[in-house]
Amino acid sequence: MTAPDTRTPEEKAKSKRKHAQVMLVIGYITVACGAAAAFLAWSREGRVPKAMSFLRSAGAPAASLELPSGPRSAKDRVSWRPWGEAAFDEAERAGRLILLDVCPPWSHGCHVMDETTYARPEVVAWIAENVVPVRADPQASAEIAYRFKAPVWPVTALLLPTGEEISRGSLVAPSQFLGWARAVAAAFRRNPSSLKAAAEASQQKIEAERASLLAATAVDRGGLEDSVALLASQYDSARGGFGRAWKLPVSAAHDLLLRLREAEEKRCLWRSRWKQDALPIGVMYDGTLRAWRALEDPVDGGFFRASNSPDWRSPEYEKTLLAQAAAVRDFAAHRALTKDEASARVAERAISFADRRLRERDGVYASGLDADLRTPENGWLAGKKYYTKTRQARQSLGVPLAVGGRPTAANAQFAEAMIEAGVRLLRPALVQKGVSLLEKIEANALLPDGAVLRMIPEPGAKSAGAADAGALADQAAFAKAEVAAFSATKNLKRLHGAKAALRYAFGRLREPGGALLAYAPHASSRRGWFVPVDPDGTVDMLYPFTDALVRNKMGDDGAAIDALDAWAATHRSAIDPVRFARTYVVRAETVECD
């Protein structure tokens, strides 16, 4: 006989939410594994399986490709179109699929694809005759950044003319590309209506699942142990960091660990409730930072973006501004916690690198240093070869270019990192340096209505205007940096920009009748997109305003914070648990500190 269920309604609801989160994770893993298997089947057998998968995660496995040196003929080039309505209209008129290449300008993987797969005459010819090729920079487009999130670049995807994604990979070797692309294109030509019907059914299913997740639940701000247990399950205790394959800084996880580590130092009362078998916070925090130092360039300074091996020893050689911001913030915090002067020097070296290699004449920073060196003959020297050379050898060759434009969010995060580092390292000049960068952002990228531009315009250049402004990620990054400046200086003027960014987000990005925010003001479902709301981004927008002192200074804008707060508190199942814990749980459970 089955024992009666004696749980309270609240306990049952909590159990259901936890089960939903676990099933979502299992679903993502299943989709990714199924995608990889499908790609292998296509590339080996030259056909598409009967059941097409409409994927939202990485499908094709990354091929092991090397970047060739030396120039190549200018005629062997793909004629890429920009992401936009014109490309989709062209695909619909011609009855062709979209070949999408999502590619930041500094990415080594993108250079490899250009110089190998997309340099093959037979590939170039097939693309010209059978698909509409589209290239997009995720830094420049909020839609691309939100829709095609990936830890590794490029994203190589095939979409229906109406925008639904059929399959996605990353580095695709020439020997694999044509078999895969031909098979998918042939299936589309044979029966486009069935693929469109499958896409619509998939969209409807995803929308239904999203609606279920977004249904209001009982207020529940507990679960610190659950969130930390989730982090611990992903922690690599042998090599440090999170994940078992790629390694890169995970901002939300680092933020949560830092706040917990600081609370631990204050002997907060929640520590007595800690699970006996839990992995200590200090082990994860200190172990991650210790391992991460392997990605610092010992010759010229600066941190590489990521490692494509679990031991941190196989860098992706691009040095992005975001990577430097993360290093400055985390290593300065580590110095404040541990009094380890070596950590302070790491943070200072990251700032020095950004100033030497990424800072432009007007004081704004470029997105990143190219992973590879462009040679005088218009060829490439791969970063793997360049960065293993001595200082003298590098000087004789030159320095990779700073590329990728001037992303507002990355500059805001770097400004915030310098401000927080200045506070923790007791360097007032560093605080002022971060504030000065924020003032440049406010002067050049904050529009009168509070919208934040995606990219900071070059001096004298005409801004893209409102058509390229107001993305939720940019609003949140700018607001968070402004709040950090206020916390450091107690200058109320610094809250003006934060208020403007919040006011715009709540007024222009909010779904009708609620508080959930969209990822961008022009979010549309016309091109294979669905329910363009962003629960995690909504919490990121709220996060800077959860500090009690900041909240008390917000005046009439406090109503927007309260609405966002109420929405997030009653929709926990829709939010990444680490982000939720970072925003709420630590605040709720560390109030009793010495």
CA-nearest of 180, 181, 109, 184 to 150 is: 109
- The encoded tokens of residue 145 equal 């950044």
Is residue 480 over pLDDT 90? yes
**Confidence (pTM):** 0.86
Distances in Å between the Cα of 90 and the Cα atoms of 103, 131, 132 are 21, 10, 7
Radius of gyration of the chain measured on its C-alpha atoms: 24
Report which DSSP code applies to 357: I
Residue 159 half-sphere exposure, CB side, CA atoms within 13 Å? 28
Amino acid at 184: V
Q: What average pLDDT does this structure show over 225-250? A: 85
Residue 385 half-sphere exposure, CB side, CA atoms within 13 Å? 12
What would you measure as the largest C-alpha separation in the chain, in angstroms? Answer: 80
Distance separating alpha carbons of residues 298 and 349, to the nearest angstrom:
10
In tens, the pLDDT along 6-62 reads 555 555 544 544 444 333 322 332 333 333 333 323 332 222 222 223 223 333 444
Comparing 459 with 294, which gets the higher pLDDT? 294
Amino acid at 549: L
Q: What average pLDDT does this structure show over 320-345? A: 95
Q: How many CB atoms lie within 10 A of CB 167?
A: 23
Number of DSSP helices (H) and strands (E) in the chain, helices first: 23, 12
Instruction: Find tokens 């462009």 and name the residue.
Output: 374
Banded pLDDT at 132 (limits 50, 70, 90): very high
Query: H-helix or E-strand containing 134?
Result: strand 131-136
Q: Where are the beta strands (DSSP E) in 232-325?
A: 306-307, 315-316, 319-320
Instruction: For the chain, give the percent of residues with pLDDT over 70.
Output: 79
pLDDT at 528: 65
CA angle 442, 422, 283 (to 5 degrees): 115
Is residue 121 over pLDDT 80? yes
Relative orientation angle of helices 121-130 and 174-190, to the nearest 10 degrees: 20
Banded pLDDT at 427 (limits 50, 70, 90): very high
Query: H-helix or E-strand containing 135?
Result: strand 131-136
In tens, the pLDDT along 372-421 reads 998 877 688 999 999 999 999 999 999 999 999 999 999 999 999 999 99
Least confident of 17-31, 145-159, 177-191: 17-31
Query: H-helix or E-strand containing 369?
Result: strand 368-369
pLDDT at 8: 55
Distances in Å between the Cα of 98 and the Cα atoms of 173, 244, 449, 554 are 19, 33, 36, 46
Least confident of 171-175, 208-212, 304-308: 208-212
Instruction: Find tokens 């541990």 and name the residue.
Output: 338
Distance separating alpha carbons of residues 348 and 133, to the nearest angstrom:
43
Distances in Å between the Cα of 2 and the Cα atoms of 6, 428, 436 are 12, 66, 67
Relative orientation angle of helices 408-424 and 321-338, to the nearest 10 degrees: 20
CA-nearest of 167, 133, 165, 137 to 61 is: 167
Least confident of 30-44, 172-186, 264-278: 30-44
